[in-house]
Amino acid sequence: MKRIGGKKAVIALALTWDGARHPNRSLPPKARAFLAGKSRDATVPSRAKVAALFAADHVKEIRVCWVPELRGGDDVLSEPFPAPFGKRLRFLSARTLHFGDVLGVVYRRDSL
């Protein structure tokens, strides 16, 4: 995770189709570079930290590599969190890339 503009964060994760986290080290090199972005910092926050960032509306962008696999279990993107003002957080798909079977998607926060 990196900080942008002081308080907005960019979250980068590899997820399976059912939302379970997938280890970045098993991704192709180009997919790992996509997740790292320009900073080359591929730190993955904990579920609690991700939930806190979403609850405070401090997430600007989400970079996800969707891995074609079903895993299940408790290791998912985020814990439940209350949305600011009781509304959904709106993210739009801004960019997609293919890395073999892996699909990389950049979701950006919509300012509505």
15-44 pLDDT, tens digit per residue, is 988 878 888 889 999 999 999 887 654 456
Residue 91 has pLDDT above 50, yes or no: yes
Residue 95 has pLDDT above 80, yes or no: yes
**More confident: 74 or 43:** 74
- pLDDT category of residue 97 using cuts at 50, 70 and 90: very high
Q: Hey, what amino acid is at 97?
A: L
pLDDT number for residue 85: 67
What six digits make up the tokens of 87? 């509304």
pLDDT number for residue 7: 64
CATH 3.40.50.300 fits 2-109, yes or no: no
Q: How far apart are CA 60 and CA 91, in angstroms?
A: 9
- DSSP line for 37-97: GGGT------HHHHHHHHHTT-EEEEEEEEES----SS-BS----PPGGGSPPPEEEEEEE
Q: What is the percent of the chain where pLDDT is above 70?
A: 72
The whole-chain average pLDDT of the chain stands at: 79
